[in-house]
Amino acid sequence: MSNRLLILSVFIVASCGLAYELVAGALASYLLGDSVLQFSSIIGCYLFAMGVGSHFSKYIKDEDLLARFIDIELLVGLVGGVSATLLFLVFAWVAAPFRSVLYALVFVVGVLVGMEIPLVMRILNARQAAFSELVSRVLTFDYLGALFVSLLFPMVLAPMLGLARTAFLFGIANAGVAMVAVRAFRHELKHAGSQALRASMVLCLLIAGFLLADRVTQWSERGLFGDEIVHAETTPYQRLVVTKWHDDLRLYINGNLQFSSRDEHRYHEALVHPALSALPAPRQVLVLGGGDGLAVREILKYPSVEAVTVVDLDPAMTRLFARAPLLTGLNGGALRDKRVKIVNEDAGQWLETATQHYDAIIIDLPDPNSYGLGKLYSEPMYRLVRKRLAETGLLVVQSTSPYFAPRAYWCVAATLEAAGFKTYPYHAYVPSFGEWGFILADTQGRYQPPTHYAVSLRWLDAAVTRELFRFPADMSRVEVEPNRLNSQNLVHYFEEDWHKVIR
């Protein structure tokens, strides 16, 4: 019976160990961007630390195996459980050492997790378990635990509990293993009473942390964003935070500002109207991204528009901006308009099966700060877009800042050209972002900027439009390579350009 209990603990231990690794990787990706770099470096650090922990485990004396196993379970549960909440607090209030704290926590948890399995195997071996069967059963349950949490984490835990509560949940599981082990092996432990007390204290602390995690996270985010948080949500794809200060509503995705209600009209008027006002009577419009409905609000100003298809990956995003009164007031209820169809799919995958042609395609995706987003700015992606654009249609792509990220901006233009488009770069000043860039494109090379607008606008007019297409010397074109899937040049350009700005 005791051997079966130890084997079962391997399943829980493996689940917890991988969960802490996934939480750290996801949180680093949310806060720092570049998910490939964050996950790769964290996995490397974690595996190295596990190797260190396995090495250290040999120094534990045979007569102390059970007691030290229980102590390690409590330690890994405590450190792993509080890790996400601690990292949120450090990032919000003491941003400078965030990476140091992140990798220190990953290393400590990795060392402790690396000690667990060797200790369990030594305990079982001391109980005269057959070695071949011992290795087979331990590794089987180890791998099953990893599979279990790798499926559960993205589909259930992260979207339903959030990262902080998920970490506390697995901390509770580790402490629970320690508590059960104390009870099951109390006759073999020299200090069972004191270990039971420690296990109870750690378990209570972790349960309290689980119950209070959302409050602590919101408090830390309040320090990060400064303004009152009116909505915060972790989805399977991103972290959404909406803040409010007086009349200013702001949306942040993974900590990055997406818009401010005080000046978003500049961005969205520049995104939509130079294209749509140049078309004689746009009827079918496709929006890739734009789940906030603000671009759709501008598109629906044109009486000729019969249908708008919005393809946004995250249903939580479109649901929020279709239902929340503060936000529907901002987008004019655009996502609930009967002419609007919402599709919650990956834009690239959706384009592969799409058959309809569109008079205008508006690409309003987040900046290419990761390889997952970079593929949506790639040459193959734009070739798919070209197939769905009507012969006389127009395409617009939000393209980051030509001033702060010039190589990234002109890379978008070069990629569109490599995909067969004629491009017409332009830029607009948006106070929340500074100079921001867009690329307008067609397939025939006939585009002319509008000389008047028949719809009601707050900022854009013919005189302003002429200036949008003029680039001063400090934003002039630079030579860069197109963004192809095998190299993802755009992501590198973006990271390097913006690193110079924030350094």
- Concatenated DSSP letters of 151-190: HHIIIIIHHHHHHHHHHHHHHHHHHHHHHHHHHHTTTT-T
- Topology classification of domain 263-502: Rossmann fold (3.40.50)
H-run or E-run covering 208: helix 192-225
Q: Which of 500, 486, 475, 501 is nearest to 410 (CA)?
A: 475
- Topology alike, domains 2-222 and 263-502: no
Sequence-ordered strand ranges (E) for 24-151: none
Q: Which of 441, 449, 456 is nearest to 300 (CA)?
A: 456
Spell out the per-residue pLDDT of the chain, length 503, in tens: 466 777 777 788 888 888 998 888 888 877 776 666 778 888 899 899 999 999 998 888 877 888 888 899 999 999 999 998 888 888 766 655 888 889 999 999 999 989 988 888 887 776 655 555 656 777 787 778 888 888 888 778 877 788 888 999 999 999 998 898 888 888 878 888 888 999 999 999 999 999 988 777 777 666 666 678 888 887 878 888 899 988 899 999 877 889 999 999 999 999 999 999 999 999 999 999 999 999 999 999 999 999 999 999 999 999 999 999 999 999 999 999 999 999 999 999 999 999 999 999 999 999 998 888 899 999 999 999 999 999 999 999 999 999 999 999 999 999 999 999 999 999 999 999 999 999 999 999 999 999 999 999 999 999 999 999 999 999 999 999 999 988 889 988 998 888 777 55
Question: Active-site positions?
Answer: 364
Sequence-ordered strand ranges (E) for 358-442: 358-364, 389-398, 422-430, 434-442
Sequence spans of domains, the chain? 2-222, 228-257, 263-502
3-state DSSP assignment of residue 395:
strand
> Is-contact 253 233, C-beta < 8 A?
no
State the greatest distance between any 2 C-alpha atoms of the chain, in Å, as a whole number: 88
Q: Which of the four CATH numbers 3.30.1280.10, 1.20.1250.20, 2.60.40.10, 1.10.3720.10 does domain 2-222 have? A: 1.20.1250.20
